[in-house]
Structure formats: structure tokens, C-alpha cells
Amino acid sequence: MAKAKTLTEKELRRVLDYVATRRHSARNRALLLTMFLGGLRVGEAAYLRYEDVVDADGKIRKEIRLDAAQTKGKHGRVVFVCDKLAKELERYVAQVPAKDPKHKLFYSQKRKADGFTPNTLAQFYHYLFHNAGIEGASSHSPRRTFITNLAAKGVGVRVLMSLAGHRNISTTQAYIDINDDMLRSAVALI
């Protein structure tokens, strides 16, 4: 089976532009950027609750602590929230405030409080990327893009492994997509 496509900045912009023209644009933008900027798995994004992201004072947390039930492999992990992601989440929570902190962060059209399941969210991404004209992308693309972009900026594979919540370094290495810009930068070091 082919690996999910790693998106370029231009392709991500194309998807964001498409999302801006559709219903539920605030949710879809926040969902997309949460995965791209946080490196979450599709199941982790589906299981996010308001209380995971927003503290008792209504502020976006700097760290999202996922418990074992929310992750693959049943091992809890921490997702570090960069400033860019915090701003996106602030904007989303202001537009779609929590009715109950235990509700899922990202609602679905049919099951508002219950939100997406990992399967329905994977299907959502399939259609989103297809409709935006991005071939080869899937629900795994945001995570692969997150890891590849950090690797391209020189972040070490052990740090990437921890950020991704992987337990084996070879798993993390398989996520890194090598591109011409990375090769040019490497050769320029000589």
C-alpha cells in the first residue's frame, strides 16, 4: 500500500482555501490545522474533548495530554501546542464554545455532541482532499507532513519519535518523506 502524500505549503493552502468556501469552515479549518500543526493521528483528533484542549479558565492548553484510550497502542502521550496552533484553537473555541467540557472538540453534522469516530473522520479527509484536488492524500497526510516538515528543519529523529508518540525509531523514520529541498540543503552543508 502506498504511503499517504506529504503536502506542500501550496497544497495545504489549496485545501484551506477550499475549506473556507464550505459549510462548517471553522470546524474544518481547526481540525485540519490541529492535525497538521500537532501531528495527531486521525483517531486522536476524533477523540479530542474540549477539556483536553481548554483549561478551567477558558485558555488553550500548552500541552494536550491524551490518555491511553485516546491513542493508538493504548499509551498516553503529550501533544505540544505551538503558538500557531493555539491561535487557531482559540479562534475555533470562540466560534464553537463548549456546551459541556466532556463533549468532543470536533462535532460531526449528524452527531453533534458525540463528534466524529476515527472512521468517519478518515472518510471526511478522503473526500476533503479529493474535492480540493489533492491526489494521494489521506487522513494520514497531516501527520506525515508534520513529521517531514520538522525533519526538514533539522529536528532530530529521537525528538520526532517523542512528538509523534512512536515507541520505535524505525516507525518515525518511515514517516519522513525526503524531497529535493532537503537534499539540496544537505549538500549545501559540504
How high is the pLDDT of residue 174?
A: 86
Domains parsed from the chain with CATH numbers? 9-142 (1.10.443.10)
Instruction: Write out the chain's pLDDT in tens, 190 residues.
Output: 568 899 999 999 999 999 999 999 999 999 999 999 999 999 999 999 999 999 999 999 999 999 988 988 788 899 999 999 999 999 999 999 988 999 999 988 776 667 899 999 999 999 999 999 999 999 999 999 999 999 999 899 999 999 988 888 888 888 888 888 888 888 988 9
- Distance, in Å, from the CA atom of 141 to the CA atom of 163, rounded to the nearest integer, reads 16
